[in-house]
Amino acid sequence: MEKRKDAIRQAMAEFLDIPRDLVLDLPKVTVVGRNELYIENHRGVIEYNLNRLRVNLSRGYLEIEGNELEIKALMADEMKITGEVLVIKYMD
């Protein structure tokens, strides 16, 4: 059932040319250089320390490795991360 709903949504988004992050609740990750990272549509922080940050997503999670990581701003579905980013990894 869920899968069918998703499929319909995806098809609609494709047909109507709507950004997928809005329709499908997908995360949107913006990386500015190596030191700035914006994540939209996140589902909270799973783990945070200076070298690793794991952000929960609607499906799976995002793992960021780096040095001196810092969450500059945190809102209900938006966050800004600064620090030296080395790896951005999608995990299931």
Partner 1 sequence: MANKLFDQVGGTIKVALKGKNQEKIINMASSRGIYIWDIKKSGDDLNFKVRTSGLKALQSISEENGYDLDVTEKQGLPFYRNLFRRRLGFFTGALIFVLALYIMSSFVWFVEVNGNKKVETSKIILTAAKHGVYQGAAKWNFSRIEVEEAMLRDLGELSYVKLDIRGVKARIQVVEKILPKTDISGPCHIVATRDGVIEEVLALEGQASVKTGDVVKKGDILISGVVFPEKSPYIVSSEEEEKEEEPEQEAYTVRARGQVKARVWYEGYGECRLHEEKLVLSGRKLSKIYIETPWKTFFVKGQREKTYPLYEQEVKKRIVKSPPGEFGFFQVELKEKTKKTRDFTAKEAVKIAREQAMKTLVRKMGKNPKISESRVDILSRPSDPILRARISVETIEDIATAQPINISPNSN
Which of 70, 84, 86, 89 lies at the binding interface for partner 1 (CB under 8 A)? 70
What does the alpha-carbon distance between residue 37 and residue 79 come to, in Å, rounded to a whole number? 8
Mapping DSSP onto H, E and C, the string for the chain reads CHHHHHHHHHHHHHHHCCCHHHHCCCCEEEEECCCEEEEECCCCEEEECCCEEEEECCCCEEEEEEEEEEEEEEECCEEEEEEEEEEEEEEC
Check binding of 76 to partner 1 (CB under 8 A): yes
Which of 74, 84, 86, 90 lies at the binding interface for partner 1 (CB under 8 A)? 74
Q: Which of residues 10-69 bind partner 1 (CB under 8 A)?
A: 44-50
Which of 22, 73, 86, 91 lies at the binding interface for partner 1 (CB under 8 A)? 73
Total of residues contacting partner 1 (CB under 8 A): 14
Closest distance of CB 43 from partner 1, Å? 9
Judged by the rule CB under 8 A, the positions of this chain that interact with partner 1 are 44-50, 70-76
